[in-house]
Each structure stands twice: as C-alpha cells, then as structure tokens.
Structure 1
C-alpha cells in the first residue's frame, strides 16, 4: 500500500479501489501537533467512528464512506477525488474541501469570537452577552476552510464557491448534520452526556448526494459534557477540549493567537505533562464506552 497523506491524526493509504485509514495516537490542538502521543487514542477514534457510521446507516439510511475495520486501528473507506484548491458544481465523487460545524451551546472559539466582538451575540438570538455553557437559542451552523493552514470561518457565498456546492446543497448537508446529531443526542441521553457541538466532513457522491466522510462523534471532533455535573452548574469536558484547556491555562493559546493575528512566527507547542497524558488516555478509553455503550 502507498502512503498518500499524513494528517494530524490519521495516515491515509491507497489500497487499490479503496483507502485505508490508520489511526495513530497523535493529538493536535489549535492546528498544532503536540509532541506527545496518547496511548489508545487511535483505537478509541477508530472504534467509536465505526459505531456511528453503522448507526446512522441503520437508523436513517445516511450514506457514508465507511466499508469495514480490518483492525481496531484501521478503517477501509470509499475513495473520493481530493482537490485542495476547490470543488465544482458539475463534479461527483469528490471530497468537499470544507468543514461543517454545528453548535448547540456556547463554548470554545465561539465564546472567544463573541468576547472580541467578531460575532454579535444578538444575531445569535441572545438578549445579553452569553457565558460558556449557555444553550444556543437555535443551533449555530458554521462552515470553515479545510486545507488552509488554519481553519477560517466562511460565509455561505465563500463556502459555496470553495466547496463547489449550491446553497440548496448546503442546506441539505445542514439537514443531514441535524439528523445525525439527533441520533447522537438520543443515543447518549441515557449515558449522562451532553453533545455540545461537533464537526463533520462530506464528499459529493453519485447523483451529488452528500456522503459523510472522515470521522465524527468522537472525543476529537465533538465536544461532550457530563450531564449531571452540568445540571449542578459545572462544565466537565469529556473530549479533546480538556487538552485545549490545558494550553489555554498555560498561556500558550494567547501567545499563539497573538502571533497569528500579528502575522508573526508562531511559538512551538510544548509537550503535555505525563499526568495529563495518562488522564487523556484514560478519557479516550472511557468515552468509547460512554458513547457506544460497549466495553473497551
């Protein structure tokens, strides 16, 4: 097999008529790969993704690129054309070069943008400045670039042009995401979890039907909170967000984004303390079981 792409988390191999994803134990935040590896992380992502791909097909007939998992860290998927410079409204079977985000609660970079005045909270439906953990009056659907150095929020017009998709197709993708997230929310409701937000990717398949690709519903792409703690006024992060919070509290996040906004050289990301590595490894194993209801 030929290695054709090395991502922040996965290695992608050409395996004849299909692709093989090999999930590694690498971890990244803020588009930076952290020097440490997180034991069992790759297996958790692979097995959790398999669970969701099978569930959305079974419950709603939603198409995905998933074929099978030859091992606990490998996944065979359908092959789609990749053109990093953009899509086309006349193509089929190509990866849409966008990332699609649905937010149900205020958290992460959304809170940052509200604080900096980059987003008017009134346009989101809030009467006053929201705080982290506030539920969105309506789910917030956003699109960002995929192949730029850092993810950049896009307007509908920009997303349509870069993705090679019509406004109607964007709404179709949005509706598909809402259906998927409904399945996620219903599935985890009995497992003391809240699905706060998540990212998904799509290809345009035969007949220009959106096909879910990459991975979703894991502790990497999505943000989950402990429901019982949330009801008591405390947000307990049960995703990669806990690692992001470490770098926020250490001051690295502020240094990084100050450099990005100024166009300066970005500071190298420092390794995680061993204690955080062990805690994060345990979290990924725990979240596989909590999300799927299956034993590790």
Structure 2
C-alpha cells in the first residue's frame, strides 16, 4: 500500500473566493475577490494591472482518461506526485518560452508545487494541437480511410507511429461552438484554419494576424520542446496548447499561452532508445490509456463516443490496483524529473501544506 496521501479532492479548500470554485478534471480554480487580487498584485509586485482578477489554481493528483476520472483500490484515488509532475513540467517549458521570446503565459506566481497563481485571460476557443507522428486517434481515423485532417491532406501508405514530413496543426474546438454551419455543436471536434478565419468572433480571435500568431507560437513552442526533449533522448510526438488574451499595464491586449504546455497529460512523449528498436514506450498518459484499453472488459466502451453513459458507469465502479497507480506515478515523476533536471519530491500531505502556505504567506484562508 502506498504511504502517500494524494490530493484527489481539490475543490473544497477553505480559500476566500468570489463566486463558485471551477473544478476541471485535474485542476480547480478559485477566483479571488477584487480586494485580495489587488492586495496581492501590490504586495507581491506582480507587474500587472491592479484590477486584474487573480485565481488560485490547485492541481490534483486525479487521473482522467477518455473523459472520465479513474480511481485506485484502498482509497488511492489519484496518482502520487502526478500534480507536482504536471505543474513543474509546464512551468519549466513556460520559463523556456519566456527566455526564447515567444509569448507570456497566465502564471504569475508558483508558491508551492501544487499551486499556480494565475491572471484572468479571455480564452481563444481553439484547442491548438500539433502532431509530428501519426498515432492514436489520428492513426485510427487514417486506418479507416480518412486522409483529410483539419484541411491537411495526408499521403497514402503511411504506417502506424510513422514520423510525418511536417508538423501538422490539427485544431479542434474548445467547448461547444454554436452558429457555425460546418462545425457540429459538440465539444472537441476537428476544425480547419478556414473555419477559424471565417468566424474570428466565435473563436474569440481579435484579428486574422492573431490566427497566424497562434500557429507561430504553437509551432515554435513545439519545436523548442522537441529540441529540449531530444537532448534527453525523448521524442515529442504530439501536444495540445491553449491561448488567451490579457491586458498589460500599458493597456495593450496580448495573446499568451494559458492552461499547461508540454506535460505528460497534454502530450505524447516516447522513449528514444525504445523507438530506435521499433518499440513505443510511452512516458505520458497515453501509457495509462493503453493500460485501460487492455484491461477493461470491453474496450469499445472507452473508444466509442456513443457509449459515454456506459463509460461513466464503468469508471465509477472500476478500481485500479495500487501497484498500477504507483507505476503510473513512476512514469509521471520519472519524466518530470528528467525534464526539470532534478528529482520530483512528493509531499506526504499536500493538502495540509497548501492550506498552511495560503494562510501564512497569502492571507487567503477562511478561518
């Protein structure tokens, strides 16, 4: 049995907020009151407009796959160290993006490995996806005869896990887009650049130039991570970035990176030596997805979007062995340690640490 406590519930911390806590699959967002936001911007010299709304973003150790949260036996309802691994890897890439002069991001402070303090951004309603290999859902579609991917035409005769001649940009919708005839009104559907160009307002873009800019920031960020991972003999396969607009102190609106970048949750990362031997070893969540596909009673439940109700029921009742959760922990903390260049240290009780820090150093805990 693991001796670690995981932060599996992260939306019930006693943080003073304005409005409800927004809880995603992995992170929960606590929007601060205008008073607390202004106080911290001044106290901590954050260098952004004092009327900028701030949020405390708490990452959890939950693991999601196929749009469901999965749990372990013996109450280990998360993966030890996963939250720290994701936060530290994304922060590492954001720092390198800054140094390379690409674009800023929404993080303004990282007081603890489980905490980001972020500034409010107006999100672009596009999941910016870049692919360097044909694998996963793209390969599944290709093997069924699909050759057009978001307006990119692929050649005949490609094989699974083959490297593509160019990095492909294959955007999809972030949230449900309404009122665009060619785009179905469901979350996460593939779109083309032309769909975006013809509907700038719907996708929250300010200009055509910014569509070009997001593609530039996506490809340049993708190349930077690819080159850095290559130094570690790891292969950057594909990834998802997200973007949004913020207002700077001089009043200008800037397109920045938001969410996370280059993490084992939002990207596929393969082991270089294994790939040269013709094997794929996943140093990302894809390994967990494959594990689920191979172990659940009926893998079609996971792969067929029409069986979502069955999938949700399966995930609620399915408990993964502790050793499986710990092996996933090893994958996350192992690749994170490689990327950031030092060992990821897992706290014994992340929840208690987070509350104490936000109380003593930020004055945000409700007594």
Same fold, TM-score > 0.5, yes or no = yes
Is 2:172 the counterpart of 1:144? yes
Q: Is the 8 A contact 2:132 2:238 kept in 1?
A: yes
Pair 1:250–1:120, CA change in 2 (3 A)? farther
Q: Is the 8 A contact 2:236 2:270 kept in 1?
A: yes
2:100 match: secondary structure? helix
Is 2:100 the counterpart of 1:54? no
The aligned counterpart of 2:244 is 203
Is 2:285 the counterpart of 1:245? no
Give 1:181 shift.
Answer: 1.4
Provide the C-alpha distance between the structure 1 equivalents of 2:143 and 2:300, rounded to a whole number of angstroms.
14
Give 1:147 shift.
Answer: 2.2
Aligned residues: 280
Pair 1:117–1:74, CA change in 2 (3 A)? same
Which blocks of at least 5 consecutive residues in structure 1 are unaligned?
81-93
The aligned counterpart of 1:294 is 342
Q: TM-score, normalised by structure 1?
A: 0.87
The aligned counterpart of 1:9 is 26
Provide the C-alpha distance between the structure 2 equivalents of 1:127 and 1:229, rounded to a whole number of angstroms.
26
The aligned counterpart of 1:134 is 162
CA-atom RMSD in angstroms? 2.2
The aligned counterpart of 1:234 is 279
Give 1:34 shift.
Answer: 1.4
Select which of 131, 148, 153 maps to 1:103. 131
The aligned counterpart of 1:154 is 191
Q: Which structure is higher in strand share?
A: 1
Is 2:228 the counterpart of 1:191? no
Provide the C-alpha distance between the structure 1 equivalents of 2:331 and 2:113, rounded to a whole number of angstroms.
17
Q: Is the 8 A contact 2:26 2:60 kept in 1?
A: yes
Runs of 4+ in 1 over 6 A off after TM superposition: none
Moved more, 155-164 or 230-239: 155-164
Is 2:282 the counterpart of 1:282? no
Give 1:71 shift.
Answer: 0.7
Bigger relative contact order, structure 1 or 2 (CA pairs below 8 A, ≥6 apart): 2
Provide the C-alpha distance between the structure 2 equivalents of 1:240 and 1:133, rounded to a whole number of angstroms.
16
Q: Is the 8 A contact 1:24 1:73 kept in 2?
A: yes
Pair 1:253–1:167, CA change in 2 (3 A)? farther
Which blocks of at least 5 consecutive residues in structure 2 are unaligned?
1-15, 38-52, 72-76, 177-185, 345-367
Provide the C-alpha distance between the structure 2 equivalents of 1:143 and 1:119, rounded to a whole number of angstroms.
16
Q: Is the 8 A contact 2:88 2:340 kept in 1?
A: no
Q: Deviations over 1:128-167 (max 9, x none)?
A: 1x22220112211011122247521122344453313244
Correspondence list, 1:2-41, <5 A: 2=17, 3-15=20-32, 16=37, 17-35=53-71, 36-41=77-82
Provide the C-alpha distance between the structure 2 equivalents of 1:266 and 1:169, rounded to a whole number of angstroms.
41
The aligned counterpart of 1:84 is none
Query: Which structure has the bigger radius of gyration?
Result: 2
Provide the C-alpha distance between the structure 1 equivalents of 2:82 and 2:281, rounded to a whole number of angstroms.
19
Select which of 138, 159, 163 maps to 2:203. 163
